[in-house]
Amino acid sequence: MVSGKPRCCDTALLACAQEESFKVLSGRMGYFWENETGTAEVGEELTIPAGIRHTFFSADPEQPLEFEVTLRPAVCAAHTQMLCCSLAINRCH
């Protein structure tokens, strides 16, 4: 279990008007939303309702985090671009 939101992820995202699902393909995903923190292992899927502030990060510095994202409905391309940019900028070292 992750003890709290890591410093490198100080800016939680706000989802557009769409649900987001993340399926972990490799590594371990740490997450923070509302007042909940935790980790997801390979094969697990997290679903975040629309409008929930959230962020996620690699919880295992030894393995790269790979995941699949599904957006429902897929209406907000700008949010997806922001997500990709924030992942690149807020990487945990």
Cα separation, 16 vs 76, in Å, equals 7
Cα separation, 55 vs 6, in Å, equals 10
pLDDT higher for 36 or 38?
38
Name the pTM for this structure: 0.68
∠ CA 63-71-73, rounded to 5° = 175
Average of pLDDT values for 49-77? 84
Q: Which domains does the chain have, with CATH numbers?
A: 7-89 (2.60.120.10)
Pick from 70, 18, 27, 83: which is nearest to 49 by CA? Answer: 18
